Amino acid sequence: MIAFSLFVAWHIFASFLWIAPPSPLREVVPAKMLSGYMLPMFGQSWSVFAPEPINGDYRIKVRAVTNASGEEQVTEWVDATEVELSMIQYNLFPPRAGLGAYEVASQLKGSFDKLTDDHRVIAGLNYFDEDWQSRLEQKMKGYGQPELVDAYVKAEAQALAYSSQVAFAMWGQENVVRVQYQVTRQNIVPFAKRHDPEAERPPVQHVTTGWRGTVVRDGQNSAAFEDVFVRQYEKIQQEGTK
């Protein structure tokens, strides 16, 4: 009972610090410790309220070129968002593992939308041979506005690191030659048409990128990711066949 009371007191205090305007009181708890506790499960986002509430869904799908038998083959798309969201749907204690794909897709879509048309054409090309990341960045910056390219390259590196983990989990790290991700967003039915029974959701918005080399960041635990992701993937496959 004492431990539970202390936890409740800490949670209320941490939530207060997180929501309250910046003040010297917030320095009582180190910033990393507070954000590490609050995100992503307890973080409060004002975007759920007017005037611009959340009004769309993000998805990220992954496929790869594999070479398991001396011949390169293209895999089918795997909907990573579907796999992760199935962990938190109807779950009173949702795991943090259920939010990664959505966050990756959201950040990539946001940075992609800010690019110019010329930048987007380059992003749609294939870059996977040696030094592909630096060559892609230099080519995009050749069309100006380097600050937009920097933001996009950072978001794409994150998307590729995530996509690589998905590909390694699904088809084996030793077999994956290169990967491709597909990020989409679809808005909900506009508020003004909420009472229209024939109203349909707006068309899906696509982020078009080419094939990329794999990205592995320091500290990633591919075995742990594979254990969680594949187990959940197989679970929803079995439920889908019932």
**pLDDT tens string 159-188:** 999 999 999 999 999 999 999 999 999 999
pLDDT grade for 240, boundaries at 50, 70 and 90:
confident
Average pLDDT for the chain: 89
- Helix ranges (DSSP H) in the chain: 2-19, 31-38, 80-88, 100-113, 117-123, 132-141, 146-171, 222-241
| Per-residue confidence (pLDDT) for residue 37, from 0 to 100 | 82
What's the confidence (pLDDT) of residue 61? 97
Angle at 201 between CA 197 and CA 205, to 5 degrees: 175
pLDDT single digits (tens) 2-61: 888 888 998 888 888 887 777 777 778 887 788 788 876 676 666 666 666 778 899 999
Q: What is the DSSP letter of 97?
A: G
CA-CA-CA-CA torsion sign (142, 177, 61, 38): negative
Query: 105, 75, 83, 78: which is closest to 205 by C-alpha?
Result: 105
